[in-house]
């Protein structure tokens, strides 16, 4: 199996993309730690993993709170003895233009989408260094998605890309591989009993497993000589998405 005996911390482990990654990682041999605010969704994911023969534990908390981020990592290390993979799948947004975003909502969106990744990485990377290496996967958004939603979301997700690339450079010599996955619009439902790759034509709606399989590759030893990647998973939408009309001078 591609992640045999690896320990993976999934932050933002709720439904759809994060649940698909958690089940797929467990299917490939990883021991999974599920961290998120919503306990009910986490427990549902844990049960699905165990029903499919995998191992998982749940840690409830808020990734934008430093003490909770530290507890996520401590839960992984205390339960399984180490930490090999951090998968940051946190965020959320809405459509608002320009300065329609109130100050408190700007702070909330930046905290959810960017601060959370900083905090979990701050605590996870030292644990990985002590273990001799590891992989950090940060979920941002495709260019089309960043432009389609609010300015706060665009700023935060663009920050995730830059943060990931800088972290990859900083920890290159300590065997820490850092990548950024940029999903497009993911509309497909997730069937936990059908963990095969989605397949089919490119011109179709994105499915949670499309992102999960990208994460699996980047987490695996097959990508051992790859770091700092920014991987867009959007079915080619960014290639054809029309640029906004020019305005002004």
pLDDT band at residue 248 under the 50/70/90 scheme: very low
Cα–Cα dist 67/74, whole Å = 10
Burial class for 99, CB neighbours closer than 10 Å (0-12, 13-18, 19+) = exposed
Q: Which of 87, 153, 171, 213 is catalytic?
A: 153
Cα–Cα dist 30/76, whole Å = 12
* pLDDT at 148 (0 to 100): 86
pTM of the model: 0.93
Cα–Cα dist 100/4, whole Å = 48
Contacts of the segment 187-192: beta carbons below 8 A, 24+ positions apart: 189/16, 190/15, 190/16, 190/19, 190/20, 192/19, 192/23, 192/48, 192/52
pLDDT at 4 over 90: yes
C-alpha distances out from residue 248 to 72, 160, 242, 245, Å: 49, 30, 18, 10
Tell me the per-residue pLDDT of 153-205, one tens digit each, with 9 for 90 and over: 999 999 999 999 999 999 999 999 999 999 999 887 777 777 888 777 888 88
Tell me the per-residue pLDDT of 26-67, one tens digit each, with 9 for 90 and over: 999 999 999 999 899 899 999 999 999 999 999 999 999 999
Token pair belonging to 45: 């994911």
pLDDT at 226 over 80: yes
pLDDT band at residue 106 under the 50/70/90 scheme: confident
Q: Is residue 153 annotated as part of the catalytic site, yes or no?
A: yes
C-alpha distances out from residue 61 to 19, 64, 67, 164, 210, Å: 17, 9, 9, 23, 27
Assess contact for 13 and 34: CB atoms under 8 A.
Answer: yes
* pLDDT at 97 (0 to 100): 62
Domains of the chain as residue ranges with CATH:
7-239 (3.40.50.720)
* pLDDT at 241 (0 to 100): 76
Cα–Cα dist 228/231, whole Å = 9
Cα–Cα dist 183/163, whole Å = 17
Cα–Cα dist 224/99, whole Å = 43
* pLDDT at 227 (0 to 100): 98
Token pair belonging to 220: 């695996």
């Amino acid at each position: 199996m591609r992640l045999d005996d690896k320990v993976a911390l999934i932050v933002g482990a709720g439904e759809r993309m994060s649940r698909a990654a958690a089940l797929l990682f467990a299917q490939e041999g990883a021991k999974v730690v599920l961290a998120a605010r919503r306990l009910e969704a986490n427990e549902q994911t844990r049960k699905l993993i165990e029903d499919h023969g995998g191992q998982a534990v749940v840690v409830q908390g808020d990734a934008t709170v430093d003490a909770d981020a530290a507890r996520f990592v401590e839960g992984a290390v205390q339960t399984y003895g180490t930490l090999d993979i951090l998968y940051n799948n946190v965020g959320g947004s809405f459509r608002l233009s320009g300065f329609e975003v109130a100050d408190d909502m700007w702070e909330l969106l930046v905290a959810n989408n960017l601060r959370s990744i900083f905090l979990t990485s701050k605590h996870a990377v030292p644990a990985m260094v002590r273990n001799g290496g590891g992989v950090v996967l940060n979920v941002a958004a495709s260019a089309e998605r960043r432009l389609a939603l609010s300015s706060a979301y665009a700023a935060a997700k663009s920050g995730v890309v830059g943060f990931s690339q800088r972290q990859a450079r900083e920890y290159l010599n300590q065997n820490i591989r850092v990548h950024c996955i940029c999903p497009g619009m993911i509309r497909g439902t997730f069937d936990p009993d059908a963990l095969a790759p989605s397949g089919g034509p490119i011109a179709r709606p994105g499915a949670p497993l499309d992102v999960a399989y990208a994460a699996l590759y980047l987490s695996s030893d097959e990508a051992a000589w790859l770091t700092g990647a920014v991987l867009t998973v959007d079915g080619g939408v960014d290639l054809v998405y029309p640029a906004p009309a020019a305005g002004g001078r």
